């Protein structure tokens, strides 16, 4: 059953409805193909927004969900011995900084302010990173960066 949802030939967008969930369970759910985790007590508007996000192909596990499971993802995915720091992927120093901020849960707006650049420039960096790494969302970027120890 492992990764059946993630490897399904027909696109499956799974959202987990939960009263409570541990970081390890979030990491396991993502590895198995879940695209979202939403608390049962979330407001109706939040539910609708999360469903739209997931249907659009995004992952959604909340700000805490994207940043907090990083140590658990390290453990579950196995860590390479040497840090690559992006060299095999031809990432620039700025792209590495952007990746570090995404893993830490920063928004495009936060990064634009931090780096004194426009949000459009941040989006440009992310587009370049996505192409170089073959990912299509921030969560995929986080998983890739953690697995390859880019950050």
What are the pLDDT digits (tens) for 98-127? 998 888 888 899 999 999 999 999 999 999
CB contact at 8 A, 12 and 33: yes
pTM > 0.75: yes or no: no
Distance from C-alpha of 136 to C-alpha of 4, rounded to nearest angstrom: 20
Establish if 9 belongs to a structural domain: no
Kindly state whether residues 19 and 73 are assigned to the same domain. Answer: yes
pLDDT of residue 74: 54
| Domain final residue pick, 77, 97, 117 | 77
Report the distance separating Cα 65 and Cα 22, nearest Å: 10
Residue 67 pLDDT: 42
Same domain, 72 and 127: no
Domain count across the chain: 2
- Whether 26 is covered by a domain: the verdict is yes
Host domain of residue 132: 87-147
Are 51 and 97 contained in the same domain? no
Q: Is the pLDDT of residue 35 over 70?
A: yes
Domain membership flag for residue 82:
no
Task: Report if residue 7 sits inside a domain.
Answer: no
- Residue 145 near residue 151 (C-beta atoms within 8 A): yes
The C-alpha atoms of residue 101 and residue 115 are separated, in whole angstroms, by: 11
Rounded Cα gap, residues 66 and 14, in angstroms: 16
CA angle 136, 14, 109 (to 5 degrees): 40
Query: Of 57, 77, 97, which residue is a domain's last?
Result: 77
Work out the end-to-end distance of the chain between its first and last CA atoms, rounded to an integer number of angstroms.
30
3 lies in a domain? no
Give yes or no: residues 91 and 73 share one domain: no
CATH code, domain with 127: 1.10.10.10
- 3-state SS track over 88-110: HHCCCHHHHHHHHHHHCCCCHHH
- Give the pLDDT confidence of 66-94 residue by residue, as tens digits: 444 555 555 655 544 344 455 678 899 89
Mean pLDDT of 10-36: 74
């Amino acid at each position: 059953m492992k990764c059946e949802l993630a490897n399904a030939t027909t696109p499956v967008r799974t959202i987990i409805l939960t009263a409570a969930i541990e970081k390890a369970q979030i990491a396991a759910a993502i590895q198995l193909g879940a695209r979202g985790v939403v608390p049962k007590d979330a407001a109706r508007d939040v539910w609708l927004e999360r469903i739209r996000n997931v249907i659009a192909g995004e992952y959604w596990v909340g700000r805490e969900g994207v940043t907090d499971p990083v140590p658990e993802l390290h453990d579950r995915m196995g860590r390479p011995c040497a840090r690559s720091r992006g060299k095999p992927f031809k990432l620039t120093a700025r792209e590495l900084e952007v990746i570090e901020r995404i893993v830490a849960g920063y928004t495009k707006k936060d990064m634009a302010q931090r780096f004194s650049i426009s949000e459009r420039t941040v989006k440009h960096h992310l587009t370049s990173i996505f192409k170089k790494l073959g990912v299509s969302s921030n969560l995929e970027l986080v998983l890739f960066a953690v697995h390859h120890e880019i950050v």
